[in-house]
Amino acid sequence: MSENVIEAKGLTKRYDGVTVVKGISFSVASGEIFGLLGPNGAGKTTTILMLLGLSDVSAGEARVLGHDPVREPLKVKRRVGYMPDAVGFYDNLSASDNMRYTGRLIGLERKEREEKIASSLAHVGLAKVADDRVETFSRGMRQRLALAEILMKEAEIAILDEPTSGLDPQATLELLAIIRDLKHRGVTVLLSSHLLDRVQSVCDRVALFNEGRIALIGSVAELGRQVFGGAGFRVEVEAEGQGLTERLAAVPGVRHVEQTGHNRFLLTSDRDVRPEAAAAAVTAGGRLFRLSVDEPSLEAIYTHYFDKMAPQGDQHAA
């Protein structure tokens, strides 16, 4: 787990004088699921293309599996699987023919190729439609076909650009399950997204992109602590009793209590204070109806962070 498979140092990209990626540095450890998050146009895809050697690097340095993607792109691309945003296939060919073409480009021998095509299509649940033309495929099926391609390649790193965008909830769940499965196979996953709640459930660590820079980096819990200064939990209490506001405010860890309605209280705290809050309500002789907690979601962190950033006059690239 300790070995870093992707390292970026001061990675910079300029297009016609406009700096799109401004000297970002990060590293991804082997076996990790790492998320690049941020609004569209924040430089996520450009960063990915630079890591793959598909786009020139203006300044800085990247290492992927110990290779420099600028000088040794073939070695990098042999061992890294890539699923572009809104991935496309040759619509007039069948799913397995599309994979055969990629398999040949990778350089697999016929026997090995056919075996891997069959097994990876089966793995993503496309075995039944292997001989159907891709033009009949839904978006979710195309995404899964792209993942099958990465499986066939036996990639050590899978780079997925917006893997869940445009998918219905069911297809998203299936896709996330396959991504988790990649991790179990020991594949390092680097994914980019602007859909936060879905990403939160799979990522070990995330980097928040903003205008070509990495604003925050770390696990979701760490980011929560950084952004909210340790007050990221919101506990909702619905109880009946006398002087509950004061009693709840006295619970250790609670920063603030707000009465949001009849018998409803919203506590802001730096940890999960449900047991203490329940005890406080009950010892006050009150009746407890409901108790729930919101952990600091990535969405909340994200909105909170960018809300803080926005008044400084910078415009978001939407």
Partner 1 sequence: MQREGSALHGLGVVFIKEVSDHLTSVRMRVLEWLIVLVGIVTVFFTIQEIKESTAEDPFLFLKLFSATQEQRLSFAVFMTFLVPLVAIGLGFDSVNSEFNRRTLSRILAQPIYRDALLFGKFFAGLFTLSVSLVALWLIVIGLGLVTLGLPPNAEEMARAFIFLLVVICYAGVWLALAMLFSIIFRSAATAALVTLGLWLFLTFIWSMLADVIGGAVVTSGDPETQILAKQYLQRLSPSTLFSEVVVTILNPSTRSLGPIYFSQLQGAILGAPLPLSESVIIAWPQMVGMFASMIIVFVIGYVIFQRQEVRA
Catalog residues that contact partner 1 under the rule CB under 8 A.
Answer: 15, 45-46, 49, 52, 54-55, 70-75, 77-78, 80-84, 86-92, 101-102, 104-107, 146, 149
The helix (H) or strand (E) run that includes residue 188 is strand 188-193
Other beta carbons less than 10 A from residue 201's beta carbon: 12
The helix (H) or strand (E) run that includes residue 259 is strand 254-261
Residue 185: CB minimum distance to partner 1, A: 19
Residue 107: CB minimum distance to partner 1, A: 7
- Contacts of 102-105 spanning 24+ positions with Cβ under 8 A: 102/149, 102/152, 102/153, 103/152
Residue 193: CB minimum distance to partner 1, A: 16
Tokens read off for 200: 């939160």
Residue 164: CB minimum distance to partner 1, A: 17
Closer to partner 1 by Cβ: residue 114 or 270: 114
What is the maximal distance between C-alpha atoms in the chain?
Answer: 77
Other beta carbons less than 10 A from residue 81's beta carbon: 23
Residue 162: CB minimum distance to partner 1, A: 12
Closer to partner 1 by Cβ: residue 20 or 235: 20
Closer to partner 1 by Cβ: residue 86 or 282: 86
Tokens read off for 137: 């495929």
Torsion of CA 32, 51, 144, 133, to 10 degrees: -160
Closer to partner 1 by Cβ: residue 32 or 162: 162
Residue 89: CB minimum distance to partner 1, A: 6
Residue 68: CB minimum distance to partner 1, A: 9
**77/79 Cα distance (integer angstroms):** 5
Closer to partner 1 by Cβ: residue 57 or 277: 57
Closer to partner 1 by Cβ: residue 69 or 286: 69
Number of helices (H), then strands (E), in the chain: 11, 13
The helix (H) or strand (E) run that includes residue 233 is strand 233-240
Residue 21: CB minimum distance to partner 1, A: 13
Closer to partner 1 by Cβ: residue 107 or 311: 107
**263/117 Cα distance (integer angstroms):** 60
Other beta carbons less than 10 A from residue 157's beta carbon: 24
Closer to partner 1 by Cβ: residue 91 or 246: 91
Q: H helices within 3-72, ranges in order? A: 44-51
* CA-wise closest residue to 1 among 28, 26, 30, 34: 30
